[in-house]
Amino acid sequence: MTTSEEKRQPEITLTGCGYHRVLELISDKWTALVIYALENGSVRYGELLRKIEGISKKMLTHTVRKLERDGLVHRHITPIVPPTVEYSLTPLGESLLEPMRSLRQWIRVHDSQVMAARVNFDQTYNKDNDSPNLEDHL
């Protein structure tokens, strides 16, 4: 019955698409920033909190926990009082730096083109005003 004119079922699924699966690891609001902060070696919790602008304790903890669960980040506790907690990339996490850097390189090269495309798009399909603030969500 499915011989000649087979109904084609969807070929692309969330769980089957490699693009989507990596992005799940690194695409919430703060994950990329934390990885960036750990690129040059281990950093303490409080330091991360100060280095990453705008992050709250809640979100920092949430983000490093998720990274730890996925095996990308290691958490090292020195059990003194008060406690010292160092975070660092695991070898697995470091192996992800290379593909991530090529992404970053892409935006460095093409950022202006993206910006230009946005301005052009917003002008073409004019957002029903003539003196809008073009900066999106800054």
| Contact residues: DNA, CB under 7 A | 28-30, 44-47, 54-59, 61, 64-65, 75, 82-85
What is the x/- site pattern for a copy of itself, positions 43-72, by CB under 8 A?
Answer: -------xxxxx-------------xxxxx
3-state secondary structure of 79: coil
Angle at 15 between CA 10 and CA 17, to 5 degrees: 75
Residue 85 CB, shortest distance to a copy of itself, in Å, is 15
Q: Is 2 exposed, middle or buried (0-12, 13-18, 19+ CB in 10 A)?
A: exposed
- Which lies closer to a copy of itself via its Cβ, residue 19 or residue 131? 19
Kindly identify the residues of this chain, within the stretch 95-124, that bind a copy of itself according to CB under 8 A.
Answer: 95-96, 98-100, 102-108, 110-111, 113-114, 116-118, 120-122
What is the x/- site pattern for a copy of itself, positions 69-98, by CB under 8 A?
Answer: xxxx-------------------x--xx-x
Residue whose entry in the numeric block shows the structure tokens 């089957």: 16
Considering CB distances under 5 to 8 angstroms, the limit depending on partner class, which of DNA, a copy of itself, none binds residue 106?
a copy of itself
Instruction: Characterise 71 by phi-psi region: left (phi > 0), alpha (psi -120 to 50), beta (else).
Output: left
3-state secondary structure of 86: strand
Residue spans of beta strands (DSSP E) within 65-110? 73-78, 84-89
Residue 123 CB, shortest distance to DNA, in Å, is 17
